[in-house]
Amino acid sequence: MKIKKYLIIISIFLIGVSAALFVYNYNSNIAKVIADTLRLDDQEATIRAIKKVMPAVVSIIIMDKQTTTVINLNTGEQTQKTDIVQKGSGTGFLISADGLILTNRHVAGAGNEKTAEYRIILNSGKQYYAQLIGKDPINDLAVLKIFDKNLPYVQLGDSDKLQIGSTVVAIGNTLGRYQNSATKGIVSGLGRSIEASDQSGSINETLDNVIQTDAEINLGNSGGPLVDLEGNVIGVNVAIDQSGSSIGFAIPVNDAKPVIKTVREIGRIVRPRLGIRYHMLTPELAQQLKLAKDTGAWITVNNDGTSSVLEGSPADLAGLKPGDIVMEINGIKIQGKITLISIVQKYKPGDKIGLKVFRDGKFLVLVAVLDEFR
């Protein structure tokens, strides 16, 4: 009886071990299948997104006149010779079936807008010459137009819904040679403020509220789309930080939508203007500047004697002064991604806006009538 009892116990133990091993292997196989499926889904989503956008991405070649002096070594006679040469290249993308193209202002600005020729090459290989519709006076954006119909165009997403860690794809005419190259990464940061300049350092500007990504934005990718895995454009590639590795920036597409809207409705770029230079405050910057408020738009105090409130501008006429901190516009608090410029751009030239301003320890309410950037 004891032997039978021990045999039963051993049998139960062995059955239990076998069942545990079966469950472990089963769960391991499920985990492996799930992991493989997730990797496959991510890969397929990336491919689908690129295929969706790629037909609407264009390469832009800027040609312009270049005059050189030719000296006859025998006679010393000097003559002027004018040639058409390539001045620059970049990327853009079609935003309408009738040929509107969004790109960067610094791409379009590689040539003289009165004499430059803008050559457009579609992913299909088809080529056009484009007309410059306009350059955005406040952001690094420009709009070109080619004349055709039923052209492929992108879908615009909602950049306000972006989160750090979101997967994105940058597409562009890398180095002006590798048309429609795609790189993949994530959103590394949001609401960045950067000082941008061209390669020569002759053009400098501040870009607010830009998207930071580790998707490689190579030279020549400027003006190309930053795309989510749904194949929607959520940014316009604009700059890289050459002092680091894989640090690129894109203008949120929601900041470009007012430009697109006015071009469609009016036929040119119209931007409302307040007329100040400012810095968006953070607790760190406020502490560094020893300011009483750590949010809002601080109107800069220039050391070179120039005023950061443009003379005769709506800000000047409203009574704004260097050192003021604009806290709210029409009750909307200025903080984080909600920048002064993003609020102002919701209005039209001629609109009145109320400004809650902090000055010398007191709050003031001023009224400004916006005019148009010229």
Q: Which residues are catalytic?
A: 106, 140, 222
Q: Are 359 and 321 in contact (CB under 8 A)?
A: yes
Q: Among 109, 116, 47, which Cα is nearest to 84's?
A: 116
Q: What are phi and psi of 178, to 5 degrees?
A: -100, 90
Q: Is 27 helix (H, G, I), strand (E, B) or coil?
A: helix
Q: Are 64 and 115 in contact (CB under 8 A)?
A: yes
Q: Among 228, 212, 199, which Cα is nearest to 164's?
A: 212
* Number of C-beta neighbours around residue 75 at 10 A: 7
Output DSSP code: residue 37: H
Residue the block writes with tokens 């997104």: 49
**Whole-number Cα distances in Å, 10 to 23, 93, 195:** 20, 72, 75
65-68: Cβ within 8 A, 24+ apart: 65/112, 65/115
